[in-house]
Structure 1
Amino acid sequence: MSTVKGVDVASYQSTTYSTAGLDFVIVKATQSTNYVNPKMAAQAKHARDAGLAVGYYHFLVRGRPKEQAAYFVSKAGERAGDILACDWENNIDGTYATNGEKDTFIKEVKRLRPQCRVVLYCNRSFWTTRDATSYAGDGLWIADPNRSAGSPNVKHPWTFHQYSISGGMDRNVGNFPTRAALKKWADGAAPAPPSKPAPGKPSTGDKPVSLTAQQVHDAVWKLDQIAAPDTAPDRSTNPTWQPQSWLKDTGNGVRALRAELHDVAAQAQANGKALSAVRAQLDAIAAALAQLDAGRGSEGQS
């Protein structure tokens, strides 16, 4: 059961909101390419001062998703381990970003901020009727106020659930057993600091560095942006599913190339044998012609 609790705040909330019983706060940072929440810094500091995990979200509008991503990361906090979110919903004028724009925005933010987890926020209607790729970056933050906390009505694995509004605040739970587990997940995107050589030992410099199997799996996971279907194992239950799928496809491709190369080599060998046979036949014909010419010459001399 999810025990990690949090809220999300915007400019219409106080900078001294209550943090009692909370583990995380996600603050609105920006919208489009021309709006910054004037209370963002104070609201984020209030959460940090209480020892909470901190995140920022951007309200995505239609058009220019890469420009919006650049604007977002230029205004939001710069700390590794902060959670970044794409808020995908209807704008006040009734328009909304397309599914492709949503995907592009998240991927661009991940490219610009590889040290941060990037998640998708949307309501259940958007997820079930407007999403076409099941792509949510590093996690799905689903708004479903019709279900109890921690039980959103979606098949896809979820990371955060916005389940109600009370006391003028959006209430959320995270799919983590403890605040420490949440922070460990958030910090997991940050690169490890460079290790210092032990006293008296030289630095490895440019020498090859060995990687663990898990590090290879993580690298493949990041490279493969193809979203898994709802019926596929998710990373939390089977962290090697997507890397194994990618590596299996790669292996199949290599085997297919090897088979094709074998066929080409066999054909070349067959062609070589046929050419040798033709050459032998030509040599035999040439020898026969030479004998005929020699016989004609003898008849002329008699």
Structure 2
Amino acid sequence: MTVKGIDVSSYQSSAYSTNGLSFVFVKATEGTSYINPKMVAQAARARSAGLVVGFYHFLRPGSMRDQARYFVEECASIHGDPLFGDWEDEGVSNAQKDAFLAEVKRLRGDTHRVGLYCSRYYWLNRDTTSNAGDALWIADYVDAGKPRIKAKWTFHQYTDSPVDTNVGAFEDRAALRKWADK
């Protein structure tokens, strides 16, 4: 059994449908200068529907320590919200990805799960350490819950139409909430 969720950024409305969802992951920040202007409203929409809310930071080349600090200081997270590094920029190395996860974990690991979002291509061809922190959120546009990787995944983004849609490897929302609350 799996739970369903979506991820949103400033490209999506803050009035998205929550029907049938158990979680919403919201883009919070990017680099050290961008904050999603809809982040607070998008998170509030999910919270008001009783969903698990998580946040992600789009990694850019530069200081991973500075980006981790910027992310945890600027995202609208509360205790138990999963936090993810979004690794898509070719200018960000595997070592930098690992450094970002380590720094977010150092800053918020007592109160938040810290994980990695990346595509199947990055996981199979750019990753050299198999480090996804507490959770691997893998993008592979195939049947829901069947990403083409051998590693244990926690979340699977399986389509971007009409929105980024995901499943989580949890029996139900209560199991997801228990995992998120550590």
Q: Is the TM value for this pair above 0.5?
A: yes
1:171 CA drift (Å)? 0.4
Alignment of 1:172 onto 2:162 = no
- Code of the aligned partner of 1:110: K
On the 8 A contact 2:143/2:158 being kept in 1, the answer is yes
Aligned to 2:64: 65
Equivalence map 1:36-55=2 (5 Å) = 36-55=35-54
Deviation readout 1:209-245 (Å, 9 max, x if unpaired): xxxxxxxxxxxxxxxxxxxxxxxxxxxxxxxxxxxxx
Equivalent-residue separation in structure 2 for 1:120 and 1:96 (angstroms): 17
Greater helix share, 1 or 2? 1
Number of equivalenced pairs: 181
- Which of 82, 94, 98 is matched with 1:103 structurally? 98
TM value normalised by structure 2: 0.98
Q: Percent identity?
A: 59
In 1, Cα distance between the equivalents of 2:161 and 2:174?
Answer: 26
2:23 partner letter: F
Contact 1:88–1:96 at 8 Å: present in 2 too?
no
Q: Retained in 2: the 8 A contact 1:28–1:40?
A: yes
User: What per-residue deviation string (whole Å, max 9, x for no partner) do you get for residues 69-122 of structure 1?
Assistant: 0000001124110010000003xxxx4310000000001001100210011000
CA RMSD of aligned residues (A): 0.8
Q: Structure 1: which 5+ residue stretches go unaligned? A: 189-302
1:186 aligns with 2:180: yes
Would you identify which runs of 4 or more consecutive aligned residues in structure 1 move more than 4 Å?
Answer: none
**Greater RCO between the two (CA within 8 Å, min separation 6)?**
2
Q: How does 1:82-161 map to 2 (within 5 A)?
A: 82-90=81-89, 95-114=90-109, 115-145=111-141, 147-161=142-156
TM-score normalised to structure 1 length? 0.59
Structure with a larger share of its residues in strand: 2
- For structure 2, list consecutive stretches of 5 or more residues without a partner in the other structure: none
Distance of 1:162 and 1:148 partners within structure 2: 10
Higher gyration radius (CA) = 1
